[in-house]
Amino acid sequence: MAEINLDWPNIGFAYRETPVRFVSDFVDGKWDEGRFSTDSNVTINESAGVLQYAQTCFEGLKAYRTEKGDIVCFRPDLNAARMAESCKRLCMPVFPVDRFIKAVVETVKRNADYVPPYGSGATLYVRPYMFATSPVLGVKPAVNYQFRIFVSPVGPYFKGGAKPVSIMVSDFDRAAPHGTGHVKAGLNYAMSLFAIEHAHELGFNENMYLDAATRTYVEETGGANFIFVTKDGKIVTPKSGTILPSITRRSLIYVAQNILKMDAEERPIPFEEVKTFAEAGLCGTAAVISPVGRVTYEGGVINFPSGMEKMGPVLQKLYDTLTGIQMGRIEGPEGWIVKVC
């Protein structure tokens, strides 16, 4: 059991400082051996690449307390691989996959008291990230970088937990057609904040982005992918080169096809088709699966009656299976669960 006693069901999704973080520096063309630090502040040069040209990217995964009391992580190898892709796209050095996984495990272990208890509804969010530390003025990649991992206990991403989320479709685009939409980086988030704030002001929880090139296909929200269920019970999720390849979404498709023996496909989804779906949800590490109750767009409103009070039955089955694997109630596919301690 966790020694730290917080009001777990009500902690919300917010930064909460924990004792230990991992820090490694890229200097002279290589990563140092790394260290664990109790200092939560970062001191960098005023002209550091991250401050001037936004050379930074991040990852997000969770550590879970299982039914048996173990602490585990979910598929950290995929976060390591995705971060490597983000780094390459932003001209940053890759932090090796094996070292990434080891550093995640060690950082979680050193903050084990902050992993919320099984069944509390809270989990430990793990945030690996990298940024350019050395000064730049001309537009070019920096020379030195820092890779860090901190952890923070979190509750559900959306207030009210499994309550339906209402979404608006605005004129804002999340990413340029051939830009960095597939990269998990602050630059995309910075560009999405205005749309999210706009949606909040109008009383919606989130904004649905359409593809910037034609504005006809469903993309994603600021921080989660979409997953839909057709009237005949098939799972569908958008395929696009300009959305973030969600590990949750990929895992859900695998679970649907291989464990629940359901039909599941990834394909372009015209916005026109959304009104024909039986269920809609947002998926991601933070959102897990959050049901969408309503989508409001210029031409009208789409309601998902199945998800107005809670999650629809098909998404609920997917949710129960995925979280069952993460919390150790269900045996997952090989390699999905990495034991911390």
Ligand X SMILES: *Cc1c(COP(=O)(O)O)cnc(C)c1O
Nearer to ligand X, 24 or 221 (CB): 221
| Given 2, 63, 105, 247, the residue binding ligand X (CB under 6 A) | 247
Q: How far is the CB of 237 from ligand X (least distance, A)?
A: 11
Residue 296: phi, psi to the nearest 5?
A: -110, 130
Segment (H or E) for 338? strand 337-339
Q: Which is nearer to ligand X, 82 or 144 (CB)?
A: 82
Collect all residues with Cβ–Cβ distance below 8 Å to 341 and sequence separation of at least 6.
Answer: 70, 71, 109, 112
Contact status: 246 vs ligand X (CB under 6 A): yes
* CB-nearer residue toward ligand X: 56 or 248: 248
Q: How far is the CB of 143 from ligand X (least distance, A)?
A: 27
Residue 59 C-beta: closest distance to ligand X, Å: 8
Q: Which residues touch 312 (CB under 8 Å, ≥6 apart)? A: 229, 278, 279, 281, 291, 304, 306
Hey, which residues between 203 and 222 contact ligand X (CB under 6 A)?
220
Site for ligand X in 283-312 (CB under 6 A): 284-285
In terms of Cβ atoms closer than 10 Å to its own Cβ (0-12, 13-18, 19+), residue 13 is middle
Phi/psi of residue 237, nearest 5 degrees:
-145, 140
State the nearest-atom distance from the C-beta of 232 to ligand X, in Å: 26
Instruction: Please identify which residue in 130, 244, 255, 274 interacts with ligand X, judged by CB under 6 A.
Output: 244
One-character DSSP codes across 79-121: HHHHHHHHHHHTT-PPPPHHHHHHHHHHHHHHTGGGSPPTTSS
Q: Which is nearer to ligand X, 237 or 296 (CB)?
A: 237
Site map 60..79 versus ligand X, x via CB under 6 A: x-------------------
Residue 248 found at the interface with ligand X (CB under 6 A)? yes
User: Is 159 one of the annotated active-site residues of the chain?
Assistant: no
Identity of residue 301: V
Active-site pick, 102, 109, 184, 261: 184
Q: How far is the CB of 3 from ligand X (least distance, A)?
A: 28
Query: Is the distance from CB of 167 to CB of 208 less than 8 angstroms?
Result: yes
Applying CB under 6 A, the span of 99-107, 109-117, 162-170, 244-252 interacting with ligand X comes to 244-252
287 within 8 A of 223, measured Cβ to Cβ: yes
Catalytic residues, which ones? Answer: 184
List of residues contacting ligand X (CB under 6 A): 60, 184, 220, 223-225, 244, 246-249, 284-285
